[in-house]
A and B are shown apart, each in its own frame.
Chain A
Amino acid sequence: MALISAALGRLSQAFLLLLAMSLIGFIGIHSVGNPVFNIVNIETATPEDIRRATIALGLDQPIWRQYFLFIGNVVQGNFGTSYIYHLPALKLVMSKLPATLELACIAMLIAAPAGIGVGLLAGRRKGTLLDRSILRSSVFALSVPSFWLSMMLILTGAILTGWFPSGGRGATASFLGREWSVLTWDGLWHMVLPVLALAIPNIALIARLSRSGTIEVESLDFTRFCRAKGLSSRRILLRHTLPNISVPIVTIIGLQFGGMLAFAVVVESIFSWPGVGKLLIDSIQLLDRPVVMATLTFISVAFVALNAFVDLFHAVLDPRVRLSS
C-alpha cells in the first residue's frame, strides 16, 4: 500500500514537472522570435507567403490557445510536425535517439568502472604520489570546457595521428529497425573520440566521489574490525567499502547519464554526431517549436525515469533505504 502511494506521489510529481516544463518551454521558444522567418525564404518570400505560412502553422492564434492546442495534441501522442523537416516531431527525436543512446551508454560503461577503480585506488593510498596525481588530473579533467577537450581529441586523435575520423557517425548497421554505429567496425571507430570526450569528465567526477567515499569509509570502525578479523584489504575494498560508497556514485551516474542523453550538445556538435542534443540545439536556433517541445518532453521523461531508477537502485544497494521506506 505504501509502495503504491509512493509510486502515485512520484507519478503526480512527474506529471506536474512535465506540465511546468512544457509551459516554460512553450513560452520561452515563443518569445524568442517568429519561426515563420526560418521556414519561408525571407529573402524572396512575399508578405502573402508569410501570412499563409503563419496561418498554416497556427501562429496567428493567441499564445494561450496555441498552448492548449499543443497540450491537447500531446495527450493524443501527437507533438506536431517539424516546421523545418516536415516530419512528425516525436518520430524525428526518436530517430536521433539511438545515436545519442549508444554514445552515452558506452561513455558511461567506460566512465563508471574506470572512475570507481581509479577512485578506490586513490582513496586506499591517500596522500601518496598516485593519489595526488589522480586528484590533480581529475581537477583538470573536470574544469576544461568540453568543447576544448573535444577539440584537443580531434587534434591529437584525428589531425596529428590520423588514427580516428574527425567526426560523423561512419557506417551503421540496422537492428530493431534503427541504425546503430556499435555494430560496425567503422562505426565503432567513429565513436572513439566522442566517447572519450564524454567519458573523461565523468571518469574524473566519479573518481573524486569514490575517492572521498573510500577515505571516509576506510576510517570507520567496521573497516577496522574487518581488518582486525584478518580480511584481505582487497576483500575489504570490494565487499565492504565499495557497497558503502555506492549510493552517491549511483546517483551521480544516473544524473550524468541523463545529462549525456539530453545535453551532450557540445560534443555532438563538434563531432557532428547526429544525436538528440544536436537536434535540440539546431531546433532552438531554427525555432522549430514542435521538435523543441518533443525533445524537452523526452528529456524530462528520461530524467524522471532515471531518478526513479536511481532510487530503486538505492533500495537494492543500501538496506537502510529499504528500512526507512
Chain B
Amino acid sequence: MKQENSFRPLLLSALLISLAFWSILSGPAQAQELRIATSYKLMTLDPHYANLNENTSLLSHIYERLVYQDERLDLKAGLAISWRATSDTQWEFKLRENVRFHDGSPFTADDVVYTIERIRDFLKPPSGGFRSYVSEIKAVSAADPLTVVVDTNGNVPNLPLSFSSIFVMHRPGQGFQTTEELNAGSPPIGTGPYKFESWSSGEMLKLTRNDDYWGRRPAWSAVTFRIIENPAARVAALTTGDVDIADAIPARDVASLKQRGAKIESVSAARVNFLQFDVGRETLPGVTSKSGEQMPNPFTNPLVRRALAMATDRGILVDKILAGYGTAAAQVFPGGLPGTSANLKPEVPNYDEAKTLLAKAGFPNGFNVVLAGPTGRYPGDGESLQAIAQSWARIGVAVQPSVFPFSVFNTKRASGDYGVWYGGTSGEAVDIILHALLASPDPERGTGALNFGHYRNEAFDAMLAKAESIQEGPERNKALADATDFVMADQPIIPLYHFHHIVGYGPRVGSYVMHPRGWTTAMQTLPATE
C-alpha cells in the first residue's frame, strides 16, 4: 500500500527534475502578477466553515483578524489596535480607524459582533472548529463604533489568541450569510489586502489588489493561486516557470531544485509529530508477549515508555527520512517559540540504558507490538514507523508497522484498534496543544480532546490550569514551559520531530518569509528588484 502510494510521485519528480532543465525563466509573465502553486485546496469561501490551513492560507488575503500571530507566534495588532481585560470576565477591544471593506463600507464594531454571532449562533455543523473559540463568550456588544466589549462566562485570558483565528466578516443587510450563498458567488467581502476576483473549487483562486488597504499596500497587483495537489506537478510548474512560488515542496526535491537555481525557504512547523501510548486499558490490541500471548498493557509503566523513548533515534528520522528538513522534537513546539521549555532537548538514543530500564520494568526480553500510523498525511509518516521499528528492535521490542490512509487510520484509532500509534497535531499555541493532547480527558471542560491514549496526570492538569489562567506574557510562557517539563518527564508521548514547511520560488520573487503555521500568502512575498 505504502509502496504504491509513494512510488509514483517519487519517480515522477525524480525524473522531472533530475534530468536537465533549462532556465526557470520562461515566457514573460504579466508584470506584477504573482502566480502561486499551492497544495492547499480552498474548499469554500466561507471563512468560518472549516478551521484548516487549506482555507486559512488563501482566505487571509481577503479577510482579516482582530489580532494576528506573527512569525514568532506573538500576537500583533490586526483590525484591533489594542485589547485589555477590564475585569476577570470582560475584555475590551479597540478597533482600527479608517478601515474599509472591499465594497467601500466602513469597518465597525458591529461587524465584529456579527462575526461572533454568526459563529456562535448561526453556523451549523459540519462547519467545525470555530465554535470552541467563542464558546466561552456570554455576550458581545459594540460600546461605540470602534470599541467591542466581550463578556465571558469565566476568566478567559487567551481570548485575544482565539480571536487570532477568526476572520471578520461584513454584516449584510439582514440575517446571516450562509455558506451556500458565499460559495455560490455572492462575493466574499473582507477588509484584507486583496479583493476576491474569481474562484473555481479545487482549481484556482484569483485576487486583485485592494488599493484602499489600510496597511502597507501589497507589492503584487494581482495574485493567482493554482491548486496543484500532486507534489511532482507543483515542482514541475515551478521548474518550468509556470508559477513563481510552489509550497509544500517534498524534501527529496529540494537539492535538485536548488541546483537549478530555484530558491528555497523553510521553517520548523509549529506542530509536532509523535508516538502516543494507550495507557487507559488493561490489555491492548496488537500488544503481545514474545511468545505471542495476550499480556497486560505494558505502557502503563512509565519505565517502559521511558525505555522506548530512549530507544527512538530521532536523528535518523530528521536526517534520512526528512532529508534534513525537520527538527528533532522533545516537546510540542520547536524550541524558542513562546511557551516552550529551554530545558528539554531531544536526546540521542541510548540503547543500553533503555534495555536496562525495560528489564527493570519486567520485560527483559521485550514484547511484540503493532505500531500504527497514517501514510501520506505528514512528511515522513509511513517511513518513520519503519525506522522506529528498527530502533526498538535493538532493545527487544518487535514492532510490526501498520499504516493506512489518514481517514482509515482515524476511524480505526477512534474505535480503539491500536495500542500505540503515530500522530500529529498543531495549534495556535503551546497551551492549546497541551490542553488537547495531554490534559486528562474531560468533555465538560473540553480538555483532552486529542488525548486518545487516556493519559491522566492530575498534578500536570493543575499546573496547566494554573498556567492557562495567566494572561498572555512571559509569566504565562514560563508556567507553560514548567508544565511541559513536568509532563514530558513522565513520557506520555514520544515527541518525534517538527517537520519543516518548505517553499520554493523563482527569479521573479526576491524574498519569502515562512510562517511556522504553514500559511502560504502573497503578503509573505516580495518581488525581486530588477
Contacts and interface: CB of A to CB of B under 8 A. Distances in A.
Contacts of B450: 42-43
B410 A34 contact: yes
B131 to A, nearest CB: 7
B50 A43 contact: no
A64 to B, nearest CB: 19
Given A53-B126, A86-B183, A272-B233, A287 B44 contact: no
A49 B49 contact: no
A47 B446 CA distance: 8
Nearest to A279: B202
Given A87-B183, A271-B233, A42 B202 contact: no
A155 B21 CA distance: 8
Contact of B226 (A35, A159, A272): A272
B236 A84 contact: no
Contact of B236 (A147, A158, A169): A158
B40 to A, nearest CB: 13
Interface string B463-496: 0000000000000000000000000000000000
Interface of A: 32-50, 52-53, 55-57, 83-87, 92, 95, 147, 151, 154-155, 158-160, 162, 165-169, 179, 269-272, 274, 279, 282, 285-287
Contact of A274 (B46, B49, B200, B425): B200
B230 interface: yes
A325 to B, nearest CB: 45
Interface string B226-254: 11111011001101101000000000000
12 contacts: A34-B407, A42-B410, A44-B425, A44-B426, A55-B125, A56-B125, A155-B16, A159-B21, A165-B242, A272-B230, A272-B237, A274-B203
Contacts of A179: 200
A164 B233 CA distance: 14
Contacts of A159: 16, 19, 21-22, 236, 239-240
A85 B44 contact: yes
Contact of B128 (A49, A166, A168): A49
Contacts of A87: 180, 183-184, 201
B202 A85 contact: yes
Given A44-B436, A87-B201, A167 B427 contact: no
Contacts of A151: 12, 15-16
Interface in B401-452: 405-411, 414, 424-427, 432, 436, 443, 446, 449-450
Nearest to B131: A49
Contacts of B21: 159-160
Contacts of A287: 407
B183 A167 contact: no
B26 interface: yes
Given A40-B128, A43-B271, A49-B132, 9 more contacts: A34-B414, A43-B427, A48-B446, A158-B236, A162-B22, A168-B242, A269-B233, A272-B233, A274-B204
Contact of A166 (B19, B124, B239, B436): B239
Contact of B407 (A37, A269, A271): A37
A257 to B, nearest CB: 24
A322 B95 CA distance: 79
B52 interface: yes
A279 B12 CA distance: 21
B337 interface: no
B408 A32 contact: yes
A42 B51 CA distance: 10
A44 B443 contact: no
Contacts of A166: 233, 236-237, 239-240, 242
B523 interface: no
A196 B12 CA distance: 18
B71 to A, nearest CB: 20
